Amino acid sequence: MDFPQALRERRTSRRLSQLDLAIRAGTTQRHVSFLETARSEPGRDMVIRLAESMDLPLRERNALLHTAGFAPAYPQSALTDPALAPVRTALEHVLAAHMPYPAIVVDRRGDLVAANEAFGLLTESVPEELIEPPVNAYRLALHPRGLAPRVVNFGQWARHVVEALQAEVMRNPDDQLGALLAELRTYVPDQPIEPGHLGFAVPLRLRTGEGAELELMTTITTFATAVDVTISELKLEAFLPASQFTADYLRARGA
Q: Where are the beta strands (DSSP E) in the chain?
A: 103-106, 112-115, 204-207, 213-222, 235-241
Domain termination site, one of 38, 67, 96: 67
Residue 17: give its domain's CATH number: 1.10.260.40
Tens digits of pLDDT across the chain (255 residues): 899 999 999 999 899 999 999 999 999 999 999 999 999 999 999 999 999 999 999 999 999 999 999 999 999 999 899 989 999 999 999 999 999 999 999 999 999 999 999 999 889 888 888 888 889 999 999 999 999 999 999 988 898 889 989 988 888 888 999 999 999 999 987 766 555 555 556 789 999 988 899 999 999 988 877 889 999 999 999 999 999 999 999 999 887
pLDDT at 129: 85
Angstrom distance (rounded) from CA 33 to CA 167:
27
Residue 73: inside a domain: no
Q: Give the number of other CB atoms < 10 A from CB of residue 222.
A: 12
Residue 72: inside a domain: no
Range of the domain at 24: 3-67
Residue 176: inside a domain: yes
Asked if residue 10 and residue 103 are part of one domain, the reply reads no
User: Which residue, 162, 174, 223, 185, is CA-closest to 13?
Assistant: 174
Angstrom distance (rounded) from CA 107 to CA 133:
13
pLDDT at 201: 62
Half-sphere exposure of residue 237: CA atoms within 13 angstroms, side-chain side: 20
| 3-state SS, residue 87 | helix
- Structurally, how many domains does the chain consist of? 2
pLDDT at 149: 93
Q: Give the number of other CB atoms < 10 A from CB of residue 174.
A: 15
Domain termination site, one of 67, 98, 121: 67
Asked if residue 115 and residue 221 are part of one domain, the reply reads yes
**What DSSP state is assigned to residue 73?**
S
Residue 191: give its domain's CATH number: 3.30.450.180
Q: Do the Cβ atoms of 129 and 139 come closer than 8 Å?
A: no
Asked if residue 130 and residue 226 are part of one domain, the reply reads yes
User: Which residue, 82, 92, 133, is CA-closest to 111?
Assistant: 133
* Prediction pTM value: 0.84
pLDDT at 198: 53
What angle, rounded to 10 degrees, do the helices at 18-25 and 29-36 form?
110
Asked if residue 114 and residue 51 are part of one domain, the reply reads no
Residue 143: inside a domain: yes
Residue 77: inside a domain: no
> Omega of the bond prior to 134 within 30 degrees of 0, cis?
yes
pLDDT at 6: 96
Domain termination site, one of 44, 67, 90: 67
